[in-house]
Structure 1
Amino acid sequence: MKKRVTLTFPKRTVQMAVTYRLAKDFNVAANIIRAQVAPNQIGKLVLDLLGDIDAIEAALEWMRSQDINVSLASREILIDEESCIDCGLCTGVCPTGALTLAPETFKLQFHRSRCVVCEQCIPTCPVQAISTNF
């Protein structure tokens, strides 16, 4: 089973080795999609968790018991095709190649299956044609 979660750490738990504990104690693989972590500040991680459903649920409960806010991520990137001017600026910041320009038409193409919802494209769009559904 695979679940995408967003973790928000209070300042006092930001140094905790969460991904290590997930693997060691719960046999849950954690793929880090996005991380904003700094000492003595609130931290955020977006993770894909992969493992047995019961192990993932146990890991989520453990994280909550450590005062880590856990929310299931169900966001996706939305492209307003009417507003988009196909400038391609978003393609330069997309780390997974989910946003590309078609070579023959130079129209923006969005490959949803490659998108990790890192949101780097949103502030890059000069006409605000990119947003999330959340």
Structure 2
Amino acid sequence: MKKRVTLTVPKRAVQMALTYQLAKDFNVAANIIRAQIAPNQIGKLVVELQGDIDEIDAAIEWLRARHIHVALASREINIDERSCIDCGLCTGVCPTEALTLEPETFRLHFARSRCVVCEQCVPTCPVQAISTHF
């Protein structure tokens, strides 16, 4: 089972070895998609949790008990094909290669199944053809 979540980590917890504890205590793998963590600041992590559903749920409870806000990622990337100019800028920031340019046509291709909704492509698009929705 996989669950994509956004973790908002309070200042006092940014030094915790969260991914280590998830693996050690709950047998849950945490694939970090995006992280903004710095000492003495609120941190944000987008992670994909993988493991048994009961273990994932227990891990989420453990995180919440440590005052870490856990939000299930229910957003999706939307591409307005009429606005897109196929410039390819978004392909350079996509960590999972969900956004690629077709080699023959140079048209943007979006593989939704590969997308982890890290949202790095949204601010990169010069014509605002990429957005998120629920």
Shared fold by TM > 0.5? yes
RMSD of the alignment, in Å? 1.1
Counterpart amino acid of residue 56 in structure 1:
I
Identity of aligned residues (%): 81
Query: 1:38 — aligned with what?
Result: 38
Counterpart amino acid of residue 23 in structure 1:
A
- Structure 1: tracts of 5 or more residues without a match: none
Normalised to the residue count of structure 1, the TM-score between the two structures is 0.94
Residue 32 of structure 1, CA deviation: 0.9
Cα shift readout 1:66-117 (whole Å, capped 9, x = no counterpart)? 0000111111211011111111111122222211111222211111122222
SS in 2 for 1:7: strand
Query: 1:50 — aligned with what?
Result: 50
In structure 2, what is the Cα distance between the partners aligned to 1:2 and 1:97?
A: 19
Query: 1:9 — aligned with what?
Result: 9
**Residues 4 and 116 in structure 2, CA contact (< 8 A), matched pair in contact too:** no
In structure 1, what is the Cα distance between the partners aligned to 2:51 and 2:103?
A: 39
In structure 1, what is the Cα distance between the partners aligned to 2:28 and 2:102?
A: 38
Query: 1:72 — aligned with what?
Result: 72
- Structure 2: tracts of 5 or more residues without a match: none
Within 5 Å, which residues of 2 pair with 1:1-134?
1-134=1-134
Moved over 6 A (4+): none
Counterpart amino acid of residue 85 in structure 1:
I
